[in-house]
Amino acid sequence: SLDLDFNQRQQMLQEAVFDGTPLYQQGFWNVLLRIMSDEAYKMAVDTIGYNIAVSNWNAADGILGFLADFGVSPVYKGFTKGFQQLPLVLADLFTAAGGEIRLNSPVAGFDEQDGVFNLQVGDQTVQAKSLILAMPRRALELIAPTSPLLQQFPDLIASVTPQPLFKIFTTYDNPWWLEAGYTPANGDYQPLESGRSVTDLPLQQTYYWAQGDGSPVTAGPAMLMSSYDDGSHVSFWDGLRPARGQAWREGLLVNTPADPFVSECDPAENRDWCAYQAPRKMVAEVSRQLAKMHDLSYTPEVKNATYRDWGDDPYGGALNFWNVGVKSGEVIEQIVQPVDGHELYICGEAYSNWQGWVEGALQTADLVLAKYGLEPL
């Protein structure tokens, strides 16, 4: 029922039975094809903008996520200084409380002896009395071979499947997409200013980036999230970029393409943006598809371009979905402290009720804090 709150819906779906079988033991796609035509399903895939949303993950969690994620006539909002302000503020609170943050320090593995954890971080051994792994499935699996404790609960770790997401950003001297609007019956031209467009091209989704105050950009420098795609569309871009996972295997954070798009990027001002250089051929293909989607003969020159594939190691995906047959509520409680008597904790969106959202990471972080007798964030 649409009148139920999130927790009530979750309980109902976890207990629901469809065609004689518990819903959580069925795939979302399997269930959908029992209640709608294949043509309707394919139309949904093409129009909602996310292939994976209606893929064959746990039906009980899939329905719950679909009802929570896709509202009617959404209003797009953002942080004035970017969404990164949320983790930055949390990091400031952590360091103010005496914590230390070491960026770019990959953990190779860990063991536990006499109640003390020994972490291998580069050529150093770091010791701790308790260990919190805020990691998704892929990252846990990468260190599991050298982490004996993680080998004790492989089924819990493998209860979710990583889902890659891919983003490409491009900037321009002006918001050219204003000219790709439409004229309704009243005859008043409506420029394309904000929100998103969805296409069955590999671009999949395009978001028209707003200004810091949330208002549309109507003149001057402008930016697009030119492509935001998932599922099978991600593989299209594989032919236009360095091999996925190559950077991690070589001990690098980022792959540098052999033929990068030459842009007006100042590393001192935009270090992260400049680090993720988009290949020249990728930018050319993005421009071609943008013109086709907006029914224009061409799009203006790209000034800057960057891309991010969250399917790269050590993430494996931008989000994770519960597998068919998994009772997610039980796993969420178990994996927070997976081995009795050991101060090992796991949190993050991967094993949460809000997979793919920051809320999921914060929700499970609160579960870990409760183990320490601390108040939620």
Tokens of 58: 């746990």
Rg (CA), the chain: 23
Q: Where are the domains of the chain?
A: 6-69, 85-161+317-371, 165-309
pLDDT at 2: 64
Burial of 216 (0-12, 13-18, 19+ CB in 10 A): middle
Going through 98-189 in order, the beta strands assigned E by DSSP cover 107-113, 116-121, 124-128, 131-134, 160-163, 165-172
Cα 257 from Cα 279, distance rounded (Å): 6
DSSP 182: B
The whole-number pLDDT of residue 1 equals: 56
**122-139: string of b/e by CB count within 10 Å (b at 16+)?**
eeeeeeeeebbbebbbbb
Q: In this predicted structure, what is the pLDDT of residue 262?
A: 83
The one-character DSSP state at 24 is G
Concatenate the DSSP letters of all residues of 184-240 into one string: -TT---B---SSEEE-SSTT-EEEE---TTSPPP-SSSEEEEEEEEETHHHHHGGGG
Tens of pLDDT, residues 247-270: 888 888 888 888 999 887 777 667
What top-level class would CATH report for the domain 165-309?
alpha beta
Task: Supply the pLDDT for residue 331.
Answer: 98
pTM above 0.85, yes or no: yes
Classify 89 as helix, strand or coil: helix
Per-residue pLDDT tens digits for 292-348: 999 999 999 999 999 999 999 999 999 999 999 999 999 999 999 999 999 999 999
Residues facing residue 58 across a β-bridge:
27
Query: Hey, is 274 helix, strand or coil?
Result: helix
| Residue 192 to residue 348: CA distance in whole angstroms | 37
CA-wise closest residue to 206 among 277, 270, 316, 296: 296
Give the C-alpha separation, 337 to 339, whole Å: 6
CATH class of 85-161+317-371: alpha beta
Q: How far, in Å, are 179, 182, 292 from residue 189 at the CA level?
A: 10, 6, 21
Beta strands in 209-361 (DSSP E): 222-230, 304-309, 319-322, 344-347
Instruction: Spell out, as residue ranges, where the chain has pLDDT lower than 50.
Output: none
What whole-number distance in Å separates Cα of residue 147 and Cα of residue 118?
Answer: 10
Question: Residue 219 in contact with residue 174, Cβ under 8 Å?
Answer: yes
Q: Is 329 exposed, middle or buried (0-12, 13-18, 19+ CB in 10 A)?
A: middle
The pLDDT of residue 3: 78
